[in-house]
Each structure stands twice: as structure tokens, then as C-alpha cells.
Structure 1
């Protein structure tokens, strides 16, 4: 019996699988004649990989795709945060910045960044562009714009460069999430998002060290300041990785060049089988409207916004560490270990969340630890206790990111276009937290930073509460599907929580 799959905007470009392979996939127990998983899986219908070909496919995706998306995200944050290091090397004096002009140059990036995410993901899901080319070109674009920072001579030039850097960088993170969601199932994606997000964490930990090495070796060499060399070098490396992305990034499961025809069909079929309520696409704009009409989108967006609000310490982490009373050198050294530990913890949480196909308790446990650490930071000035809390709230808060974003793709992914729109909307709403959380750390509130730490505890509590609200919502939805009040019971695939 031939395996049928739903119409897809890129199907015509994909090569069809031969009949014997289709029969083998069906007999493995992973898909029925409609390409959907049967109820022999866990509570949501998700099944463990047993077919050797599927296991080999996922391993191939991990080895080919994950290193390049990690490197791209690492450089995304290195390039974005280079201005903070450049400030220590005389950027403000060289460009004549005064008053709040530096702060404006920081915030203007997010204007372009937030404006472009939704249109970019809609374009990516339209099937009108090869994703490997689009994301690599965008990366090359932000590499060039970032390098051009070295050419700025005044405040106006820096504002323009930062604005266009936000536009150029905007497509990557929501686009990378969409790309991962097209190749990894609900049980797999949390781990991959946590690995991706570790690129952000490692970049934050390492960017200062990269800057110091540049300033020590190239400052005032060949007529350029150290901060100018920093932007030039990082831009050149980013451009090189963008070229590599053309070769390593995948496209749609049915059109990825480095997958065999059999692997393409399997990659497409297993995601279709894992999708709750999968259906034919009605187009990009219709899918955006459908996502915006789904009330679960707003609860997930609120959850992610509260999570990122609780992570507001990341922009002021040296300031928080500095409240311990050490000199600037020791302070910079002490900022690295909590981030590195949090990266490891995030991967572990991603593994266990995927293994057990569970989200609510992982969010509760991880963010609960962070909330306790925030409260302790409010209550004591003991150096050892406060530094230990830095490990706890970074690890607990950051670990939640991959679980929430994986939940978005699992809950709102009825079509690829709706999934892309939902991920971008959630990301835009969540990143809006950077607008107001920047005001929670005034110098006058140090060294305890009571306002910031108590606010972070409240944000973390709201994240936990919204996770339980969504769990209750999805449980009731599953019951309605089982009773036949909603369609989908015949597929044996239910919402995961």
C-alpha cells in the first residue's frame, strides 16, 4: 500500500520514494496509510524511534545540520554584543557619543529586529525560496553590516548601522527554530533547541575574552583602534560561516540535496505523522491569520515573554556579579562559569523533556529553582550565597527556553506555515521584554538590586503558572478529541504537555 502525504508547496520538487521503501516504513509501525502515528505510542501518540533507518536519518541530521546552526547562532550573538566590548576600548570617545546616545544605539537594533521576524518566517514558509540560501544570505548580510561598524565616524552612522544590523539578524533565530521544527519530532526538538540556545550562552561567556585578545594584539595597529578590528575580524569570520551554510544547511525535507530520496520521504513522513491535527495548507497569509485566531498562541507568547523577562539579568550580569564587591578583572572572570554551567543544564533538561515527552514539570522545576535563587539574592548580601544563586538562576531560567519553544511548535504546527508564523509571533512578543526590563537595574538600586530580583521572581512564577494553565487547557482538548467532540481521534495523535 502506498504511503500518501498531504499536499505541500514544495512537494513537486521532492523526489518520490520507491514502493518497497514505503512498505518498509509502514511495516515498522511508525506510520499508517495516512502517514499518521497510531495510538500505541505514549499519552500523546508520540512513539520512540525503532526503525534503524529513522535512527540513522536523525543522526545524519544532527551531524550535518546542528553544528552549522549552532555556529551561526554563536556568531549572531557575538556580532550583536561586540558593541558592549567596543565601549570598553574607546568607542564612545572616538565617535563623540554623549548622554544616552550609546543606549539609543543599543535599543535601535531591536526595532529592526522585531519588525522583520514575522515577515521573514512567512517568506521562509512560503516555499518560494531555498532555506539554505535565504539564511546564508541573511547571515552574510549581517556580517557585512557588522563589519561596517568599523567605518562609522559619528552617532548618526552608528545608529544607522545598528538599525540595519537588527533587520539583517532578525530572520535567523525564528528561522532556525522553524528549520529545526521541520526535521525533528516533539520528542526530539527540545534537545536540539537547547543545543542551539547554548550558542547564545557560550557567545555571552566568550565574547569578552575574544574582545580582550583583539584589543591586546591589534589596538592602534595599521591606523585602526582595537574596537574597529573587533568588528572587522568578527564580520569576516561570520561571512565565512555564511558561505559554509550554503553547503550544510537543509531546505525542506523533500528537497534537501544531501539527503537521499528515501531519507527525504522518511524525513517528511515522520514529521507529518507526529503533527497534531495536520491538514492542507491554505497559504502563508491565511496561516498567519489562523495562528493569530488560535488563543493558545497568546498564552504561549505570554509564557515566553515572562520567561525572557525573568532572564533580564543577562544584559546586566557583570553588574550583578560586580555587586559582590570584587575588582573588574575578577568580576569578568566570575561571569563565565555560571553561563557555562547553565548551557550544560539546558542540554540535560532538553534530553529529559524529550525522553519523557513532558514540559510542564520541567518548566516548574527549572524555573522554580530560579525563583528561589532570585528570592535568596534579595534576602542576603553574603558573597558565597549570592554567587551560588547566580549559578542557580542562570541554569534554571535558561533551561526553560527550549521547552517552551518546543511546546509552541508541537501545539501550533498544524501546517508548516502556521508553525512558522506562531514561532515568529511568540519570539517577537517575548523579545519585547527587553524594552521594559532594561529599567529594572538602576545603579541607585545596587548592590542588592531588590527591584530587579523581586521582579524576576515574579516573572518566573508567572511562567510556571502559565505552563500549568496550558497543561490544563491541552488535557481538556485531548479529552474532547477522545470523545469525538473535536476531530482527530482516528489519528491517535494528541497534544503533548
Structure 2
């Protein structure tokens, strides 16, 4: 017979300024140790994997403006088609490759068709990584913790192009022509080399979800017990419900799945104006005339936009988790309102005006996209009671986003028109306005649902506490008069 174990859940701690900076400062020593281990494994290696994934995604643009266009004779909209090839592979592989991350080096491409095929394969095997990581984070962290972790994970998406830009600039200056390879080809070679050790380590350090995890060298039985109790208090239900036609139809008719998928479907409009920056810089260089911007400058200047997005996104999630006490909508809607202004200014500002007039607009144009980590956190929290719907919604959001990413550049942001894409910038402003409307609807519906659950007594304890955190877990040496002893958890651990 399994031996009984017990642990003590103390009353919810009061938020301190240290807890606003990093939430584990307000919990017990045992839970703090658990969160430290979880952050070191899941957050660290998940973020490193995300960084490598998006460096690869960014490399194609940096390579294009650094010699690939001329070497492979990529003219017309062939750049767009290469991006679409990756996107199609990504869409097809979204479900079957949900937990696979593989890198296929593209340095052997000699022709345009070969590049298309290789980018398709890369997209196919990268498909499951992004939605899987967000789903796993939503299965381990509570509301007070999730926004910051999602923000750190998503920051890799903004930081990756910075690495890619400076990496391409350095490679072009130091390795261009070395061993008979052009500088842009070395970019893919080096990306493949640094990907392999991170992929191997991530395989061993990324944990399963609390509902499926078993004690191992990484997490002990007691730590898994702590994780499951934390999620129970947060109202997060573990996996276990079967996928049926009825359940999937239920997901497809749920306002949560529909509205969150809708806002992600429109996401590509908000990210495209920033991609014009690199083409805008390159367009200043006219054939037969001295270059206005060097290859290094063309690769490096756009990283200012990525740096801004990373910093602003992290500030937004910290404000949401801290002073806003878990409210997601204020920073999300604010970012989209600012995006509307930026896109309108891109429409009315002369395309080839002074650097100081247009470059700042490109740099700030991704502010709407900074809502991604908070949107994913919000979705996870609103669908806490159904793990299968949460996973389905995360994959649907990502799949529809990339489905639209496949054709939006071909219609609104064609390479042959860059950087003269006024119609695309105008469309981005309209879509940002629609985002504000959809997020407002989500806010209203979520508030109504919360009031209904409160009347029915269905809210978990964490949702009614002042700081929206789970109760801390005592290490057994501390006593609390408001604590609750939870016993007979061994049978649960054996599920």
C-alpha cells in the first residue's frame, strides 16, 4: 500500500514590491526552490530553443539582403514565395510535429527550387515547438507567474533577429568567400552548428506537464505533487478528457477559441510593416552609385525595432502581473491603439523622407505584436478548466496565424513593391482597430463569466485572492493557523 504523504498550503501571501519584480519572493522556501528549478529547466531551455528557432526564421531575410538575392537570381516576388514555402510546411506540420524541433541546414541550396524545398522542410519540423511551449508553460505556472514567463519566452522572438542581423554582418565581413562559400551561406551553417547542442539539452531538460509527469532525475515525487496542487488551486485542470467529434465541435463553437483565434489570425498584418525597414534601407542603394547604407548597416539598423519590442513586451508583462494584478486587457489594448497611430503615420509620411522621419516609425511599428505573450497567458487562464481545449486553441491560433502569413505578404507587402507598401500599412491600421474591438469583446465576456462563476461559487481560491496568486506551500517546518492539510495524495500521484 502506498505510503501517505501530506503537505501544508498556507494562506495566500501579501504582494510585496519584491514579489512584483519576481513572484517567488512571496512564497515559501520549498515552493521557491521548486520554481527556481522549473525556471532553470523549462523556461531557460524553452527560451533558448525559441531563440534558435527564430534566428533561423530571421536568417532568410538577412541572407536575402546580403547576397542571396544576387547569387540565386531571386527577382520578382521569389523572396515572398520562399517565405511562403516555410509557412506552408509550418502549417502542415502544426499538429503531427507538436513536440518536434529539428534544424535542417540550408547552406547546400544552389538554386531557387532547392531553397523552396529546404525552407518547406524546415517549417515542417519547426511546427509544433511554439504552441507546445506556451501550452506547457500554462500547465506549470499560475496567473501571477505566467505573464512574465510568457514574456521572457516571447522575447526570444524579438531578440533572435538582433542576433541574426549582427551575426550576418559579422559573417559577411569575416567569412564571405571563405572555403568557397558566400557570407549568407555561412549564416545557415553557423546556425545549424549552434542549434544542435541546445536541441539535445532541451530534449533532456524540458519537462512534461504536471498531469503526465513522473518522478525522475529532474523533478521528485514531492515536486510533482507541489505542481499538481498549485494548478488545482489555480483552477487549472490536467489532461485526461478524450478528443471526440462532440468535444472538438464544442471547441470550435466556444467564444474563447473563436475570438482568440481571430485576433491571432489578424496578427500578420501588425508584424509586416516592420519588415519593410530592411527593404527601405536597401532601396536607398542605387546600382552604379555609391552605397548609402552598407550591408552591415542594412542588417543592423532593423534590430533597433526588435530591441524596442523585446523591452516593451517585458515591461508590459511585468506591469500586467504586478500593478495590474493579472489584468491582461489594459496593456494589450493600449499597444494596439498606439499601433494604429504608427501605421497611419507610415501611410501619410513620404516613403523616402529623412531617416529621422521614417525609421522611428518602423522601429515602433511592432508594438501591437508585443501583446502575444499576454494574449497567450490570457487564453490559458480563461480556458483553465479544459486542458484539451487549451491545447487545441493554442494550435488553432498559431495555425490560422501562419495560414494568413502565407498570403498576406503576397497581397499587401509584395517584395517587388517594397518599401512602397502604403496599401499594406493602411490595412494594418484597420486591422489594429479591429483588434481593439475583439479584445474589448473578450474583456466584457470574460468579466461576465467571472461574475457568473462567482455567483455560482465556482471560482478557485486563487481567483478570489487579492493578488491572484496560489497559496504558498510550506516546507513542513512552518505553521500557519489558516493552513489546510492535504492528505492521501499518493493515489493521485499514481494516475
- TM-score bracket for this pair, using the shorter chain length: 0.7 to 0.9
1:184 matched residue in structure 2? 141
Match of 1:113 in 2: 90
User: Aligned partners of 2:402 and 2:180: how far apart in 1?
Assistant: 38
Does 1:357 pair with 2:357?
no
Structure 1, 57-66 or 176-185: larger mean CA deviation: 57-66
Per the TM alignment, residue 374 of structure 1 is displaced from its structure 2 partner at its CA by 1.9
TM-score normalized by the length of structure 1: 0.79
**Are 1:19 and 2:19 matched, yes or no?**
no
Instruction: Verify: 1:78 aligned to 2:55, yes or no.
Output: yes
Measured in 1, the distance between the counterparts of 2:126 and 2:199 equals 12
Question: Residue 482 and residue 102 in structure 1: after superposition, are their counterparts in 2 closer, same or farther (change >3 A)?
Answer: closer
2:182 matched residue in structure 1 = 225
1:321-400 maps to which residues of 2 (within 5 A)? 327-329=292-294, 330-355=297-322, 356-381=325-350, 383=354, 384-394=356-366, 396-400=367-371
Q: Deviations over 1:68-90 (max 9, x none)?
A: 11111111011223233333454
Q: Deviation at 1:481?
A: 2.4
Residues 176-185 or 434-443, more deviating: 434-443
* Structure 2 counterparts to residues 223-302 of structure 1, below 5 A: 223-253=180-210, 254-255=213-214, 257-275=217-235, 278=237, 281-285=240-244, 288-302=248-262
**What is the CA distance between 1:265 and its match in structure 2?**
0.9
Query: Structure 1 residue 460 and structure 2 residue 432: aligned?
Result: yes
8 A Cα contact 1:109 1:164, kept in partner: yes
The match for 1:414 is: 385
Which stretch of structure 1 is more off in the superposition, 168-177 or 94-103? 94-103
- Give the corresponding residue for 1:315: 275
468-477 vs 81-90, which deviates more? 81-90
| 2:150 paired residue number | 193
Q: Does 1:482 align with 2:439?
A: no
TM-superposed CA distance for 1:209, in Å, is 1.7
Q: State the TM-score, normalizing by the size of structure 2.
A: 0.79
For each residue in 1:290-314, what CA deviation from the matched residue of structure 2 results, as whole angstroms up to 9, or x when unmatched? Answer: 4223232111111222233212224
Distance in 2 (CA, whole Å) between partners of 1:284 and 1:74 is 32
Residues 152, 387 of structure 1: alpha-carbon distance in 2 compared, 3 angstrom cutoff: closer
Q: Distance in 1 between matches of 2:153 and 2:440?
A: 26
Rounded Cα–Cα distance in structure 1 between residues aligned with 2:239 and 2:391: 15
Shift of 1:229: 2.6
Name the SS for the 1:432 alignment partner: helix
Contact 1:367 1:464 survives alignment (8 Å): yes
Cα deviation for residue 423 of structure 1 reads 0.5
Report the counterpart of residue 165 of structure 1 in structure 2: 122
**Count of aligned residue pairs for this structure pair:** 439
Using the TM superposition, give the Cα deviation of residue 250 of structure 1 relative to its aligned residue in structure 2, in angstroms.
1.6
Q: Secondary structure at the match of 2:266?
A: helix
Q: What is the Cα deviation at residue 177 of structure 1?
A: 0.8
Q: 1:47 to 1:292 in 2, by over 3 A?
A: farther
Q: Residue 154 and residue 386 in structure 1: after superposition, are their counterparts in 2 closer, same or farther (change >3 A)?
A: closer
> Corresponding residue for 1:10?
none
Structure 1 segments unaligned to the other structure (5+ residues): 1-15, 32-45, 122-134
Q: Does 1:29 align with 2:11?
A: yes
Matched residues in 2 for 1:429 and 1:297: separation?
12
Structure 2: runs of 5 or more not aligned: 14-22, 286-290, 469-495
CA RMSD of aligned residues (A): 3.2
Q: Secondary structure at the match of 1:118?
A: coil
